[in-house]
Chain A
Amino acid sequence: MQFNDIFMLTSNPILSGFAWFIILTIALYIARIHAHKAIQSVCRVFHLAMRLTAQSVMRAEKRMIDRNKEVLLSQGQEAAERIIEREFHRIDATVQRDLSEYPSLHRKLSEEILKIDEDYKESTDVPPAPPAWVKAVEAVAKIPGVKGDPMVGNVLEDIHQSLIKANTKATEEYRKSSHLRHQILNKMMPHWRSVSQTLEQVDKNVTSLLQRSTTIDRHMKEYEDIQKQSDRAVQMLSSSSLTQFFISAFVLMIAAGGAVINFNLIARPMSEMVGGTSYLMGYQTSHIAALVIILVEIAMGLFLMESMRITRLFPVIGALNDKLRVRMIWITFGFLLSLACIEAGLAYMRELLMQDAAATRALLRDDTIEVVESSYLWITTAAQMGLGFILPFVLTFVAIPLESFIHSLRSVIGILVVAFLRSLTWLLRLMGNIAKFSGKMLVNIYDLMIFGPLWLERSFKARTKHETKKEKNVDTVHYSSL
């Protein structure tokens, strides 16, 4: 049975269409109230379901925000503790290094000062005492009646000569003693310098300690903010986390570039070791072997960084006692060194293989041009070997950005999940509202489809009402006339 068999009630399609329109309009008019209820209830159910789901998603979003905040604060607290601990360690080292020497420094200063003091005393300027009999001469000279006496004159002349002699001798002695004092003062200079240097050193140490204490104060302030769970601390940590994420991702990309170069260096010669024909999960075994070597190098680098307590990805390693930790440092470094040597060898092998392959290709192409071996070829070989040796050690440092990336990744994922949940809530609410208003719209469209019977209904009702009103009026007139 085809559509036409059902549709064509008469031979004329227009008439058939019209007949169907009448039938459907009547059917829809009869079912109007129930259809309206059905449409409204379906839309309401959908609207409520969407609202409920949106509320649930909102709650999940709130939980996620709280959880993100907790994680962020916890990470921030841990980082702040770590920084403060490190600063205290530095202060401890400074104090142990500098202030432990303070007693000896003090003793040195005291000794220097004592020496300076002694020298000072020695250099004290004592003016030469005038001869004691000068006053006796003055007294003789004042005796009345001696003036003009040649005897007294001779005596005084002798005394004068003696005085000149004594004065010359005293001046010479004074000069000698002054020279000695200058010499002593000259000897004092190194002591002064030593004292000055020692005091400068002390000043430097104290200033360094003061600077450290300022840094600690700043970190303590941040730590207190985190402890108080203030919004400022959360915002600061969130921003810091995002910055860390992008920076570490960038550095990891650079490291990935290094790893790719490393891979290309060793993938080809690895086929000499493990064969070039076997495949593992769709990939050449030699390629997988090269990749495994690089991954092992990265793993060794991670362990090395952990053992050195530069990163803290594996708390077990960090918690090892120092003896074991140092042993682990040497072991991982030994492995890295071995792998670096192997890589350098493989890089050399790669060059040999490439030369061999080029020679074979030239032979098979029947190249008549003689290939002259370049004298600079050793540079590329050496460069390849150098890269093969250095890259494993370079990859060791991947541990640092990796740690930052992993730590910040949690926050970034949290932010993304919150954004997703927020968008989902918005979408659900939008859909709920669309459902709510589309119910009203569908009811109106339904009425539009049966506008004919509805118009008739309204006209009929209006006429009935009019007639009823008229009758009432007539009755009222009749009653009033009575």
Chain B
Amino acid sequence: MDFRLDLDVLAKTKTALVQVVDELKNLATTFFNTNASLTAKGWKGLSARSFDTVNSEWQTTFLAGVTNVSNLQQILTSVLRQGTDANSQALSLARSIGGSSSRSSKKVLGLSRSDKDAACKTDVKLVNGYDSALNLYRSIQSDLSSLRYTKFSMASEIGSARSGAQTKQAQLTNLTRGLNNYGNTINQIEQGMKSGIANLKQPKGWSGALAQIGSDPALKLKLANLGFGAELGLIIPVVWDLVNFGAYGGDQNGPYDVYNNQKSNPAAWASLLAVIRQYHPNWTDQQIGDFLQKLNNEGCGYVALVNTIFVQYKNNPAGFERAFGFPLYVLDPLSGEYNLNYNALLLDFYCATDNHNKGFFGGDTVNPHEDSNAIKGFGVTATQLQYRAETYLQNRGVKVTVTTAVIPEAKVDVSSAMYHSLSKNGSQVILSMHPPKLYHMDGSYDKGNSGSGGHDVVVTGTTKDGDLVVSSWGQQYLVKPNDFKSSGFDYAYFQVVTYGNK
């Protein structure tokens, strides 16, 4: 099934989320007021001011998280309403061909689009089959009217058969219509969930924190003492699914997120650690944590390149595993679903090429001073991304060329037409923005992920308004080429990734 949704669990989750939001708000108020009163009354000096700052930052993040849960609750309410409609629709569907309309106690919506389409095709054949039967009835009736001696008649039998065939034709026509309507409703539900989740202002690490709550017995106990108990078991899987719903490309924070939540998802961490150990067998946990934090800080160019690899190999899991040594899909034990193995490939690419450059006299050199510090990286220039991508892929037997379509200094306007021209032969296009300006798919500006520095994203398409559809932070965003007019200070350029001998 492409889609499955248990309405009963959804309804319980929605109710529980309402309670959770209230409890979290109360908890936050008590907690932050207590902290504030500490520095207001009993603690003064530099350390107290520092504590105040941390307290304030944490409060902002925490309240953003609470708003997030509240927004999730609203999404679930909307999904539940649509889901209930879809359930009624399904009952009508059963009635439409004469099946039972009795209500099931288990309201689980599900749809397999390929099987639905196949059923609709079969349905059309059946409708046509009854046309053949109706033609034969007409012909037989005509023959009977030409009988010369006998008074034999089958008028009532033919009438009954004709009426039966017509009724069945109508039912089958309804069935096709009903199946398509049901499919459309499920699509709307799914779209609603996707856009709802895409619009959540999700603090970084929030999804990991949820997973941690779900699996950390001590934390669970504390939360149970605060009044959340049984509902946690309901909330965590659903929220986890929703948070991960609609992943759109890799996320440069992905490996660091897995590192931070290794207790709750040890299998995921073990597979990433194995990748790191191939390159850095003696690193301490601290070094690994810093390295992953640095990837989060500077990894956008690496993610953009990794996304192009997944597009290249999406239908070739065997080839992917042969080239890179790990599977294209990986099972997430928390959700029980298979996801694209973005984190492993991103990490492998980063481990293999971080700070590597083409030497002055050829060959590969490593610049140990490229980054500001252990957790803050320099990022990649167009030339560096080209060198690192080609070196990494060619060492694994993958033929690729990376070119810069317009050099940054030329300050030529990027546009959807230029994207189409560059990608028309199957090449993929990476957009480099300085600074990043990202919009949600509903057109609202994502202030949190825009602003300063540079950012690389892979372009996946365009809209009719000429905007570029891109993948960033594992989600779908819009970029408006007009934000980067060459006459202004902000600029953007394209890099073209071409696989094979093109």
| A and B associate in one complex | no
